Structure 1
Amino acid sequence: MNEQKNLLLAIVASLIILLIFQYLFPTEKTEVKKKLDSFEEVEKIKPESKILSRKTVIQNEERIYFSEKSRVIGSIALKGARFDDLILKDYKESIAPDSKQVTLLSPQNTKIPYFIELGWMSQQNINLPNKESIWEIIEGKKLGPNTPITIQWKSSEGLIFKRKIFIDENFLISVEQEIINKTNKDFNLTQYGRINRTGTPKTSGFYILHEGPIAVLNNRLIEVDYDDLLEDGSVSAISRGGWIGITDKYWLAAL
């Protein structure tokens, strides 16, 4: 039964949590909602997709690597600027001496994709960075405490998108975004963030422990079980401020 749920979730309803965490132009809230309803950049693993090893995916892409001073091991893909390779250096899957370190995030096209990405949307017909966009490093070498990385992507309209990425001495990653408009035109953009997890992870099954999508929106705690997602298809809410994420027994990825 669990395998059937895995297949159903992977093929039919790849788990997407989409968060609009800032409206740059509040008067366009209705237009942003329409854009969300037609949002088509949802990653799904199709039955014919070739599943690759984690090592193969990472080696075949240009990436920003975490420094040795970080408490995490991994990298950020320059294609799409995705956070999709994160291993916890100080934690293992079990107490066995030969236990592997905990893998939190994994790239698309691997067995269990789990990644985070940021982006922009607009009602105007303009080119924006997407999952295929190749970002370039313009400052820094490796990401670590006190050593941020700055990347950028240029559009054909003359917009320059910049991201400065930080990581603290633990596990908090922060991103400062900047858009430079070198044209004489006005552009209305809305930023978004999403956590994409495909497949139904193994859960503990304790009724007092929540594992799955979790959020605080409009000052209210929201917890959604994987079974409810399979039955209902999706859950949506509009909130000014708050946070959203996916939690396991011990680990949480959140925006």
Structure 2
Amino acid sequence: MHSFVVTGGARGVGRTIAERLAMEGTVVIVDIVDPEQGDAPGPHEDGRRWPYHRMVLISGSAADPEVAQRAAMTAEAAGPLAGWVNNAAIFDDADLIGAGPGRILELITANLALAVTGCHTAVNHFRRHGRPGAIVNVSSHQAQRPVRGALPYATAKAAIEGLTRAVAVDHGPDGIRANAVALGSITTARSEAYRLAHPGVDAQMAALHPLGRPGTAAEVAGAVAFLLSEAAGFVNGVILPVDGGRSANGPDPEARSRIASA
């Protein structure tokens, strides 16, 4: 049975991805867990199994090469490492007026480093063991269509999409596939808290997504599981929007006049 690594898998979308992949084999989660925030069922030490079948936690930053290497070794001990998901992200932003270049670069690097470290660890692990493997990086619709006020995050996600394509080209000959999912708005505990504090957000989400709603973490997990599977064996270097059509949607300048005349 195979194993997988999911960074940022203690909560939100990452947690659902980990639970989905646990149906296929052992999943090693890399995350910084704070039990007081409700991120985990209780305190855990490195390598201790969670109550969920085939899920193991490595506590630490996914940007730390030593932590990432420990995750790879822990996964390999449970079964051949087959897939690595770089889901961890930092949601902290600044703008060109309120922050200096150093702070903005720090935030961009903080997000980009999570994916670079994961890709580096996964590629070298697969090559060292002489086997193919798959990497999925979690990106955002903001890589192509930024939301105002999120410059460092949008910039980092655009870089992660470039990283995805470069890894696919460089290591396709090694049998290593690299793809990304570019997410629209996905319902999580974090987004629900925002929704409750902003009553008009439901209408905004319906307007932004042609399907009329945000996505679910389970829908993201299904797309990630597909990209890691043998069914996607010839899919490489792809940025797959999982956004309900948000990236395809554009503002209609005639919509307001049509509504007014209806």
One fold, TM greater than 0.5? no
Question: Which structure has greater strand proportion?
Answer: 1
Higher relative contact order at CA 8 Å, sep ≥6: structure 1 or structure 2? 1
TM-score with structure 1 setting the length: 0.30
Q: TM-score, structure 2 length as denominator?
A: 0.30
